[in-house]
A and B are shown apart, each in its own frame.
Chain A
Amino acid sequence: MADNSLTDPKDMFSIAYLQMLTAHIKHSFVDCSGTSKDKKGVDCEVFKTECLEVYFQAKCTSISSKSMIEEDENYIYYNFDIKKYKAHYKKYLALIILPADAEFEQWLETNFLFEIKDPNKSGLLLKARAFYLPINGSYDLGKPPNSNRSNNLVKIPKTNILNQNSLLKMVELVENPEQTL
């Protein structure tokens, strides 16, 4: 039996973030944690039509994890051994970046109607940034200027924002492989 339970809060945040986006575009979501797909580097799937899924390898880090992440004005540099993952046009790295570990209590804020009288101030706020990178063989490896690091850093453009619009675009691309491939 597959064990698809998650215990690391960061893992849970990354899956929850993708699941929330999927709910908002009214598509289907499958958490692959602990399944045979997980072993092939797929943490979850998003799809409108079965067999036309977008696959995600979901990662989450805090900005204080200096060994994992650096950034400059235009790029995120993330420590990710992308060569371990087979190139596939349906597969993406989803990277969720949270505030510093010391600010864990502030990562997520909930203010609901029963606590606050003003409805405009009611809501849920995840203090995260999210980016994506296609794992299709055409990614950039690189490191920030003036860095001495020798790790496997992938270079993610800050324009690759992972939100509802970009997620919809990924599903559309999988449905139209003539353009994608």
Chain B
Amino acid sequence: MMYNINQFQFEKDLYIAGFDYKVSNSGNFKIWRRKDSNLYLVTPQDSNDINSFENYIEDNICSLIKILNVNKDYSNDEFVDIFINKKYPINSRIETKSTTVPSDYLFTLLTSTMKSYRYFREYNYEYKKMGTKNFEVGHSKKGSYKIPILVSLEEDVLSDFESQINIMSNTLFHQEREPNPVLKSIVEFSKSLDKLNNLDKHSESTKFIDIVMENKLNSHIVETFLSVNRSFQKVREDYKDLIKHSYIEFESNPILDFDVNP
């Protein structure tokens, strides 16, 4: 497998994720380590030595997955596509009573998830609405209906974030940094999803309002997923004999989110 990774960008990502390097005895390589692991990564000191960087990239990805403690479900290819390319997975998990999932149910769950994040970000953080091109549907995972929606951050958000890192690097390395508002919106959205999952387990309609109030659930998410007349609640009712349970879970990006406490 050839990975389309630029050495300069890769090293910047390592830096963002809390790695520091020492030059090897020969002076030809940088050895990147993080304090919480005895594993390491290798990049050539001469960034024009493209062959040498390519020779080590597969080992580097293997070590990076371990050091960042990334979910074991991800292959090296998926790790590069999702985390190196700076996306956030929002996973829909569906437990069925049969061997298939109705397409209507799946489609509604996926579109509700995307729609709720777009509204959430727009209304809570006053950011422009995220374009639909920033959403992709990933591969389902073998053995379960786990369908990831991958949210890509916009170019301007990433460049804002990286320029903040550059300013930091000129002063203090790994100093606690201000969370980027968009990263913050993603983390806050994930917390709301957690609450939503809890709510889903107690979905008796008589207690609905009490639980929403008690959990301080975001109204846009509740409306999108659970309002009686809205679409997802409808398909859930329609297919209650086929679908045992479904919930949505969020995964952080261990590179972008390192050391950020929104």
Taking Cβ atoms with an 8 Å cutoff, the residues of A that contact B are: 36, 49-52, 86-90, 175, 177-181
List 26 A–B pairs whose Cβ atoms lie within 8 Å, in order of A's numbering.
Answer: A36-B1, A50-B66, A51-B39, A51-B62, A51-B63, A51-B66, A52-B39, A86-B51, A86-B55, A87-B52, A87-B55, A88-B55, A90-B59, A175-B38, A177-B29, A177-B31, A177-B40, A177-B42, A178-B22, A178-B24, A178-B25, A180-B24, A181-B25, A181-B26, A181-B28, A181-B29
Docked pose: A85 CA to B79 CA in angstroms = 26
Docked pose: A80 CA to B152 CA in angstroms = 47
Cβ-defined contact, B22 with A181, below 8 A: no
- Chain B residues 1 to 41 lying within 8 A of chain A, measured CB to CB, are 1, 22, 24-26, 28-29, 31, 38-40
Name the B residues within 8 Å of A86 (CB-CB). Answer: 51, 55
Name the B residues within 8 Å of A90 (CB-CB). Answer: 59
Name the A residues within 8 Å of B1 (CB-CB). Answer: 36
Name the B residues within 8 Å of A88 (CB-CB). Answer: 55-56
Cβ-defined contact, A181 with B39, below 8 A: no
Name the A residues within 8 Å of B52 (CB-CB). Answer: 87
Name the A residues within 8 Å of B25 (CB-CB). Answer: 178-179, 181
Shortest beta-carbon distance from B199 to chain A in Å? 39
Report whether over half of chain A's contact residues are helix, strand or loop; otherwise say mixed: loop
Q: What is the number of residues of chain B that contact chain A, defined by CB distance less than 8 Å?
A: 20
Docked pose: A88 CA to B24 CA in angstroms = 15
Name the A residues within 8 Å of B63 (CB-CB). Answer: 51
Shortest beta-carbon distance from B195 to chain A in Å? 36
Shortest beta-carbon distance from A31 to chain B in Å? 18
Partner of B38, one of A36, A49, A180: A49
Docked pose: A124 CA to B63 CA in angstroms = 39
Shortest beta-carbon distance from A175 to chain B in Å? 8
Shortest beta-carbon distance from B150 to chain A in Å? 25
Give the interface centre of A51, A52, A88 by most chain B CB atoms within 10 Å. Answer: A51
Name the A residues within 8 Å of B55 (CB-CB). Answer: 86-88
Name the B residues within 8 Å of A51 (CB-CB). Answer: 39, 59, 62-63, 66
Name the B residues within 8 Å of A181 (CB-CB). Answer: 24-26, 28-29, 31, 42
Cβ-defined contact, A178 with B31, below 8 A: yes
Docked pose: A88 CA to B29 CA in angstroms = 12
Interchain residue pairs A-B with the least CB separation, the first 7: A181-B24, A181-B29, A51-B63, A51-B62, A86-B55, A177-B31, A51-B39
Docked pose: A87 CA to B24 CA in angstroms = 17
- Chain B residues 173 to 216 lying within 8 A of chain A, measured CB to CB, are none
Interface flags for B36-62 (1: CB within 8 Å of A; 0: not) read 001110100000000110011001001
Docked pose: A175 CA to B26 CA in angstroms = 16
Shortest beta-carbon distance from A50 to chain B in Å? 7
Shortest beta-carbon distance from A140 to chain B in Å? 18
Shortest beta-carbon distance from B222 to chain A in Å? 43
Docked pose: A51 CA to B55 CA in angstroms = 15
Shortest beta-carbon distance from A8 to chain B in Å? 27
Partner of B39, one of A49, A89, A178, A179: A49
Docked pose: A36 CA to B58 CA in angstroms = 12
Name the B residues within 8 Å of A180 (CB-CB). Answer: 24
Docked pose: A28 CA to B51 CA in angstroms = 29
